[in-house]
Amino acid sequence: MSVTNEASGWRCAACGGKLEITKVGFTYMKGNFEVDLPACRSCGQALVSEELATGKMADAERILEDK
């Protein structure tokens, strides 16, 4: 599923705003990362899919912890 398709039709659970693809910042072990994710422009809540959280993000976490 593409990030663009992932955002279509979703609404923010916190404020009801429409999700749009935007750069979302993450900080982990003193590293800062930016990822394009569906997020609410009103309140900043981001949608992290299960696939992203258990796939690419988990892999990056393991790599950073091994250093």
Q: Which helix (H) or strand (E) holds 23?
A: strand 19-28
Whether the CB-CB separation of 39 and 54 falls below 8 Å is answered with no
18: left (phi over 0), alpha (psi -120 to 50) or beta: beta
Q: Which domain holds residue 38?
A: 3-66
**Residue-averaged pLDDT of the chain:** 82
Of residues 15 and 27, more confidence is placed in: 15
DSSP 17: P
Which alpha helices (H) appear in the chain, and where do they start and end? 3-7, 50-54, 56-66
Say which CATH number the domain at 33 has: 3.10.20
What are the pLDDT digits (tens) for 30-47? 778 888 999 998 999 999
For the chain, the domain total comes to: 1
